[in-house]
Chains A and B, each alone.
Chain A
Amino acid sequence: MATSVLENIPLNEEGFLTDPSVWNEEIAKALAEQEGIELTEKHWEVIRWCREAAARSGASPTLRQITTGTGLSTKELFNLFPKGPAKKVARIAGLGKPEGCI
């Protein structure tokens, strides 16, 4: 069970990492599993891009920034992270909630 990776990892009430620096790929897999998502290479591309974008700007990217930045379509992004990609992507990537609206 990948979820046991999260046993000693502090999460806030919404399930986001309280300390983003502890993030690693095993934690991402475990968080994704909680969301019912099995990470494929496409997911990793999004996650990696989001982490790079956040490192550059200091803020978790918005959905629009993700589609523009990765070249994925809105449909593809919503298929990869169904039912609420805004929070799911940020949570799995170990980032905070996106601060922009678009």
Chain B
Amino acid sequence: MSENRHMAFICSKGNLDMAYPALIMGWAALGNGVDVTLFFTFWGLDLINKHRVDHLEIAPVGITSMKTGMMGFPVNMGIPQLAGVLPGMTAVATSLMKKKMEELDVPPVREMLQMLHDAGAKIYGCKMTVDMMKLTKEDFLDVVDGVVTASEFIDITEGAQIIFI
């Protein structure tokens, strides 16, 4: 019997929009019988940090793809970068994105991580950034399997397809 396909996602971003790619792909992979490992590093640690996971945000500044259509306006035009720095813009964009995700029946990040865990995904934090940010096991969601070094991650993912996000 051939070895089962294995996909590993390195999640390095802590923004709300960048939280979802690995979670959705990982969920699809599990649904197709593929083994999944999620490795959270640097800002990505926010996703498995129980104090942060429900407060992820999307800031319009720097996202040149964001158009007014996504903000609920009938005309789909660019948003000047300067507008993104106005007070409250990040909160507005975040709440709009959460609403859009809910409309598509996409669960919040905390719930998606639980689903992935229940479906058999392995979830790890990156040792170096955990130390750097002075986090401890108590800061993480229960679905986290452990904190591992880069070298351990390389061992765990031998033969896996690795996706960096």
Contacts and interface: CB of A to CB of B under 8 A. Distances in A.
Interface string B113-135: 01100111000000000000000
Interface string B93-119: 000000000001111000000110011
28 contacts: A63-B31, A64-B105, A64-B115, A73-B118, A74-B114, A74-B115, A74-B118, A75-B119, A78-B30, A78-B118, A78-B120, A83-B4, A83-B33, A84-B30, A84-B31, A84-B33, A84-B34, A86-B28, A86-B32, A98-B31, A100-B105, A101-B24, A101-B27, A102-B24, A102-B27, A102-B104, A102-B105, A102-B107
Interface in A49-93: 63-65, 73-75, 78, 83-87
Interface residues of B, number: 18
A42 B49 CA distance: 35
Contacts of A83: 4, 33
A64 B118 CA distance: 12
Contacts of B115: 64, 74
B interface majority secondary structure = loop
A96 B107 CA distance: 24
* A-side interface size class: 10 to 19
A63 B119 CA distance: 11
A72 B31 CA distance: 15
A102 B104 CA distance: 9
Contacts of B31: 63, 84-87, 98
Nearest to A73: B118
Given A74-B114, A102-B107, 14 more contacts: A63-B31, A64-B105, A64-B115, A73-B118, A83-B4, A83-B33, A84-B30, A84-B33, A85-B31, A87-B31, A100-B105, A101-B24, A101-B27, A102-B24
Contact of B28 (A65, A73, A75, A101): A101
Which residue among B24, B34, B105, B106 has the maximum number of chain A CB atoms within 10 Å of its CB? B105
Nearest to B34: A84
A100 B104 CA distance: 9
B32 A74 contact: no
A64 B107 contact: yes
